Structure 1
Amino acid sequence: MTIYQTLLGEDFKNLHPKLQQRYALPVGQAFYAKGVMRTIESGAKWMRPFYMVATKFKFLFPESGKNIPFTIRNTCHRLPTGEMEVLWERTFYFSKKTRHFDARMTVDPVHNIVKDYLGSPALFYSDLLFSVTRQGKLIIRSGTQRFVMSKIQWAIPKMLEGRVIVEEGYDEDRDVFTIHVYIHNPLLGRLMMYAGEFTQQSF
């Protein structure tokens, strides 16, 4: 049983069957997909210095666009501690730049959250709360967040957090996974939004 099955328990069975397959992620077997982000919207132009630093950590980026090709790869492996970790590698192919958005996730069964370290190396940490809709979609919301610098972490004040909501589903008519991600801050507004679709690829 991998981290998402552990976290969701019986609710995992309420996911669309294709999402159950996607999030089962046996150790050592990767999920790899290609798709198109119909829309990518970054934040305000005055925040560009922050985004340029974030790109060095394979995190957020300043580009926006329409119909941007992308790939996603999820790989589950076991840490020396015995915990299972899922590596998320998202790559966006803009016309003049290739951007990355990486994350590493483990589960905290005591607090019923996913522990999400964003960036490579990690720049931010966020608790993630998972739920399943009646339609079998997966909803992910952010919780407590921290700034990460090597082994040192600082709590981020609520008003400075990048609040996240993710909706992932499966469109049976078009036989594609669908994704919508929105990251915003109470003071700064939108930090990142992207919405698109993707299909699993064989290796």
Structure 2
Amino acid sequence: MAASIYEQILGEAFYQLHPKLQQRYTFLQDRPFEAGGVMKRIKGVPKGFLPLGWLGTKRKLLFPERGEGVPFTLKNTPSVGKDGEAQVHWERIFYFGKTQRYFNALMRFNAKEAVIEDYLGEPPIVYSDLELAVEQGALLITSKRQRLLLGPVEIPLPSIFQGKATVKEAYIEEEEAYAISVQVKNPLIGTVFAYEGVFHHDDL
């Protein structure tokens, strides 16, 4: 079985991840990884930028809601793109009562440039290079170069307009659960979007 895009980008460092994270990011038998959990805290787009939040809901990317104890589901589906490169679709659904909000993306491995390409939204509206690292068994993901996607047109974004993401995913032995924290910051706005929670995958 071919190595996942995360194994390929991390190389030997992949085996420094907690064993449960290694299993999670190997995508055994090419099956989707499906899980459910609760966001302890989640902050949507700041109130002063609600148009950005409502626009995000149309592209399954950002949203204005916030709260505590918010249920969510996660689904990662590996596949092969038209160009033959491995890719993984990320679907994250947050349940605010009867309202569902999304934070979706498509990650691809660019073997030529040795980078994970992250296409955010559906259809994608923002592109970002991702840098992956391992720290004490946890997976760290940070966003780097970003571009605005307007159909076939790609516009490089100056740093002042970028939303820099920092993601940390770990495994908590005591709870037999995965812990996730995500924070997206902009130099002007501050925190654009953030969440912190835990999730379980019973079939792994």
More displaced, 101-110 or 170-179? 101-110
Of 11, 14, 19, 1:9 maps to 11
TM-score normalised over the length of structure 2: 0.95
Distance 1:143 1:186 in 2: 14
Q: Which runs of 5+ in 1 are unaligned?
A: none
**Number of the residue aligned with 1:126:** 128
Relative to structure 1, the CA distance from residue 118 to residue 27 in structure 2 (aligned partners, 3 Å threshold; closer, same or farther) is: farther
Of 87, 90, 94, 2:89 maps to 87
Shift of 1:95: 1.6
Work out whether residues 113 and 130 of structure 1, in 8 Å CA contact, stay in contact via their aligned partners in 2.
no
Q: Tell me, yes or no, if structure 1 residue 53 matches structure 2 residue 75.
A: no
TM-score normalised over the length of structure 1: 0.96
- Match of 1:43, SS state, is coil
Distance 1:74 1:170 in 2: 17
Shift of 1:109: 3.0
CA deviation vs aligned residue, 1:1-36 (integer Å, no higher than 9, x gap): 110000000000000000000001257410000000
**Number of the residue aligned with 2:140:** 139
More displaced, 18-27 or 7-16? 18-27
Shift of 1:158: 0.7
Of 93, 117, 131, 2:119 maps to 117
- Match of 2:25, SS state, is helix
More displaced, 10-19 or 36-45? 36-45
Letter in 2 for 1:52: W
Letter in 2 for 1:182: Q
Residue correspondence of structure 1 range 1-203 to structure 2 within 5 A: 1-26=3-28, 28-133=30-135, 135-202=136-203
Distance 1:35 1:114 in 2: 26
Displaced runs of 4 or more, over 6 A: none
CA RMSD in angstroms, aligned pairs only:
1.4
Letter in 2 for 1:120: E
- Match of 1:12, SS state, is helix
More displaced, 147-156 or 84-93? 147-156
Work out whether residues 107 and 115 of structure 1, in 8 Å CA contact, stay in contact via their aligned partners in 2.
yes
Shift of 1:80: 2.5
Aligned residues: 202
Work out whether residues 37 and 195 of structure 1, in 8 Å CA contact, stay in contact via their aligned partners in 2.
yes
Shift of 1:112: 2.9
Work out whether residues 27 and 78 of structure 1, in 8 Å CA contact, stay in contact via their aligned partners in 2.
no
CA deviation vs aligned residue, 1:139-167 (integer Å, no higher than 9, x gap): 00000000112211101111110011000
Shift of 1:96: 4.2
Letter in 2 for 1:45: K
